[in-house]
Amino acid sequence: MHMGHLIFAQLSHFLPMHEFSRCVDRYRGDYKVREFSCLDQFLCMAFAQLTSRESLRDIETCLRAVQPKLYHAGIRGRVSRSTLADANERRDWRIYADLAQVLITTARGFYAHDDFGVELANVAYALDSTTIDLCLSLFPWARFRKHKAAVKVHTLLDLRGSIPTFLRITDGKTHDVFFLDEVILEPGAFYVMDRGYIDFERLYRFTQGLAFFVTRAKSNLAYTRLSYRPVDKSTGLRCDETIRLCGRETSTEYPVPLRRISYFDAETGHRLVFLTNNFELPALTIALLYKKRWKIELFFKWIKQHLHIKAFFGTSENAVKTQVWIAISVYVLVAIIKKELAIKRNLSEILQILSITLFEKVELYQVLMATVPQNEDSSLSNQLELFDL
């Protein structure tokens, strides 16, 4: 029998503890704390994510059942639902947001050269948001409609590796377009977004910042054609033209030419019209790049299916943001481990194995590689998969 560390402790070894301590010190997370530190809080919440716990009482019951092993798992403080609830309510959520950013930087290095289905040397991002419904009586600060509450998780996703690089959590009423004001543009990078982000004054900032965008055009777009390029209609392309906006407001908000590409999708029978400020890439590549935006939809569905972010362990804004950021940290940490150990399994399989082996004294690589999935044909699985698209 392997007499080394617990699986849970081995997972913790991939955490950048020095950077975590700096995050805690930055927001005085452990100031006047005698027991149950920020690390204890993170590990308890990570346990809840990895094992799909449903409530604070559930977390407390399960962890107390393995009390003799908690010290060796890295949890030094006494676990109770009241202590964990207080930590989630009071400790600054930015501690875990900053930790997630450290992990994201590491993960992006591992996935920087992954193929995502488009021949593109540039960095490519997808922008979108997902809405999480809440109970208005429990979350009054997140009022969405008259009888409904919700939060939005606005996300900038690196299409290589499906790594979320930038997130903002807002109430449900916040329009998606305001997220563009917070995105720090990278020169030469591509930003793919749907029609909900069309605001030509904001899109013009992309052009000024030497970044590229790809989006869908609205049906009432007013423009004049300046020139066109021949296209091969057998590929689905219908037109590739240079245009200038001529609307009363849009002509001022975006005063330079745009590229308009029309594409017929034979799979869906829909005709799609794209707008971009890139005039160099082939038109078919622009259409394919927009198609890859679907990866962010898969990301949202995946985290809702495999992580615990649809029900919350606290009702304050701080508790909600803490839980979401720790969930993202766990997701990125598992993605790092997958690359570090060269694991061939997809993330859902890794999470399933970890959920039942956290307190086993087995080598992490061995437990993730030892068993062979019973169903080798992944096409028959109804589980969403990432990193195997």
Query: What are the pLDDT digits (tens) for 277-319?
Result: 999 999 999 999 999 999 999 999 999 888 888 889 999 999 9
| pLDDT of the residue at 385 | 55
What average pLDDT does range 358-384 have in this prediction?
68
Predicted confidence band at 387 (pLDDT cuts at 50, 70, 90)? low
Share of the chain above pLDDT 90, in %: 78
Three-point CA angle 315, 175, 148, nearest 5° = 40
Cβ pair 388, 379 in contact under 8 A: no
What average pLDDT does range 242-258 have in this prediction?
95
The two three-digit tokens of residue 327, written as one number: 């969930």
213 has pLDDT over 60: yes
Strands 124-134 and 190-192, sheet pairing: parallel
The two three-digit tokens of residue 388, written as one number: 């195997």
SS3 string of the chain?
CCCCCCHHHHHHCCCCHHHHHHHHHHCCCCCCCCCCCHHHHHHHHHHHHHHCCCCHHHHHHHHHHCHHHHHHHCCCCCCCHHHHHHHHHHCCCHHHHHHHHHHHHHHHHHHCCCCCCCCCCCCEEEEEEEEEEECCCCCHHHEEECCEEEEEEEEEEECCCCEEEEEEEEECCCCHHHHHHCCCCCCCCEEECCHHHCCHHHHHHHHHCCCEEEEECCCCCCEEEEEEECCCHHHCEEEEEEEEECCCCHHHHCCCCEEEEEEEECCCCEEEEEEECCCCCCHHHHHHHHHCCHHHHHHHHHHHHHCCCCCCCCCCHHHHHHHHHHHHHHHHHHHHHHHHCCCCCCHHHHHHHHHHHCCCCCCHHHHHHCCCCCCCCHHHCCCCCCCCC
14 has pLDDT over 60: yes
Query: What are the pLDDT digits (tens) for 154-195?
Result: 999 999 989 999 999 998 999 999 999 999 999 999 999 999
Q: Which residue type, as a one-letter code, is found at position 164? A: P
Cβ pair 296, 128 in contact under 8 A: yes
What average pLDDT does range 360-369 have in this prediction?
90
Predicted confidence band at 388 (pLDDT cuts at 50, 70, 90)? low
246 has pLDDT over 70: yes
| pLDDT of the residue at 3 | 54
| pLDDT of the residue at 238 | 94
48 has pLDDT over 60: yes
Query: What are the pLDDT digits (tens) for 60-92?
Result: 999 999 999 999 999 998 999 999 999 999 999
* Average pLDDT of the chain to the nearest whole number: 91
Share of the chain above pLDDT 70, in %: 94
| pLDDT of the residue at 253 | 95
Q: Look at 280 and 3; give whichever has higher pLDDT.
A: 280
Which residues have a Cβ under 8 Å from the Cβ of 146 and sit 6 or more positions away?
Answer: none
| pLDDT of the residue at 338 | 93
